[in-house]
Amino acid sequence: MSTEYLLAIESTCDETAAALIDSHGCVLSECVATQELLHEKFSGVVPEIAARAHLERILPVLDTALKESGIPPDALSAIAVATFPGLPGSLIVGLSAAKALALAWNKPLVGINHIQAHIYACGLGATESIYPCVGFIVSGGHTSLYRCEEPLGWDYLGGTIDDAAGEAFDKVAVMLGLPFPGGPALSKLAAKGDRQAIRFPRPLLDDKERLDFSFSGLKTAVRYRIAGPSDPSHRAAVLDEQERANIAAGFEQAVIDCLIAKALAAIKKTRAKRLCVGGGVAANTSFREQLAVACQARNVELIIAKPQWCTDNAAMGALAWEKIRRGQFDPLDLDVQPGLVRPKR
């Protein structure tokens, strides 16, 4: 079988990324430009700043990915780009670049679902299909469970009703005076703490039938532990280092317990044999280790995306090959769908 080549673009949030992927799923090159320093003083992603940064970085990122791959534009089969869900301005930059290249190089355009791509990343480099499975996306913007019969055929099972897990990590990190991005910093601090010293609530954990998540109340419980209900001006700086570490550890464990319990409940409900996990929080070492133990005990096959493909990247744009093989291309008037969109069949 002859080899074909795909250029994939990712700009859904605050990473500008491009990758060259062949039709066998091999990632030939990839380039990711992060924006952490730009958003650090705000302790979170500012959409307008993110969009402007994408504008500055999209061409250098594309140029780097193309040069490192050694694949000339005329050898490409298509241009793929994530069009939903995500931040409106960020999505528009990536889509505009993809449209321009598709028009200039006379190549088909393929719009892909960022959420479906996160799960598809679990199978990059694998020799066998990861489908069917329960797909679990755990990131800064998403905490959702899906029944995935095949790469493009999904059923929504449940998700967060307020904060996403990664968002809760970032907000609690701010409370503890940790730098942005908060998730990795909080996990590093939690490693020094006692996970049993403070037991925070596990929202919705007792509801075995409901496959939803809620982290807002947990976040509030952490806030009260740090400041006290009558002293909102109290800062984490007055806590000693061990207390801060215990709070971080207790919070992280509460989130992990909720994530694992609901994922296993989804497996039980769907009678699936395989769980595939993607998204930035899937790179969390404690989560990966504890989920692996839980799945092994229940004879469930666990596939977690490699750490470099958990956070937003363009390599997961390999999902576009599934649409290309089905002849599912998009017109040049394709538009973005910002916000939190559930994949449809």
pLDDT digits (tens, 9 = 90+) for 61-87: 999 999 999 999 999 999 999 999 999
129-304: CATH superfamily: ATPase, nucleotide binding domain (3.30.420.40)
5-122+310-325: CATH superfamily: ATPase, nucleotide binding domain (3.30.420.40)
pLDDT at res. 233:
45
Instruction: Identify the CA nearest to 159 among candidates 214, 207, 220.
Output: 214
Q: Specify the DSSP element, H or E, that contains 119.
A: helix 114-120
pLDDT at res. 43:
86
CA distances from 154 to 131, 145, 148, 157, 201 (A): 11, 10, 5, 9, 31
- The mean predicted confidence, pLDDT, of the chain is 93
Question: What is the pLDDT averaged over residues 121-125?
Answer: 94
Q: Give the residue, 53 or 228, on which the prediction is more confident.
A: 53
pTM equals: 0.92
Interval 83-121: pLDDT, tens: 999 999 999 999 999 999 999 999 999 999 999 999 999
Q: How confident is the model at residue 345 (pLDDT cuts 50, 70, 90)?
A: very low
CATH code 3.30.420.40 region(s) in the chain: 5-122+310-325, 129-304
Question: Do 170 and 187 meet the contact criterion of CB atoms below 8 Å apart?
Answer: no
Instruction: Work out the number of other CB atoms within 10 angstroms of the CB of residue 119.
Output: 29
DSSP secondary structure string, 147-208?
Answer: EEEETTEEEEEEEBSS--HHHHHHHHHHHTTPPSSHHHHHHHHHTTS-TTTS----TTTT-S
C-alpha 190/C-alpha 255 separation (Å) is: 12
**Token representation of residue 151:** 């790469």
C-alpha 254/C-alpha 281 separation (Å) is: 14
Question: Do 134 and 157 meet the contact criterion of CB atoms below 8 Å apart?
Answer: yes
Report the share of the chain in percent with pLDDT over 70.
95
**3-state secondary structure (DSSP) of residue 97:** helix
Query: Which residue type, as a one-letter code, is found at position 155?
Result: D
Instruction: Identify the CA nearest to 34 among candidates 17, 15, 52, 49.
Output: 15
Question: Do 75 and 5 meet the contact criterion of CB atoms below 8 Å apart?
Answer: yes
Long-range contacts of 237-241 (CB under 8 A, 24+ apart): 237/177, 241/192
Q: How confident is the model at residue 230 (pLDDT cuts 50, 70, 90)?
A: low
Instruction: Identify the CA nearest to 218 among candidates 259, 177, 265.
Output: 259
| Residue 344, pLDDT above cutoff 50 | no
- In degrees and rounded to multiples of 5, residue 148 shows phi and psi of -110, 100
Question: Do 275 and 300 meet the contact criterion of CB atoms below 8 Å apart?
Answer: yes
pLDDT at res. 227:
82
pLDDT at res. 209:
85
Residue whose token pair is 């609901």: 262
Q: Specify the DSSP element, H or E, that contains 233.
A: none
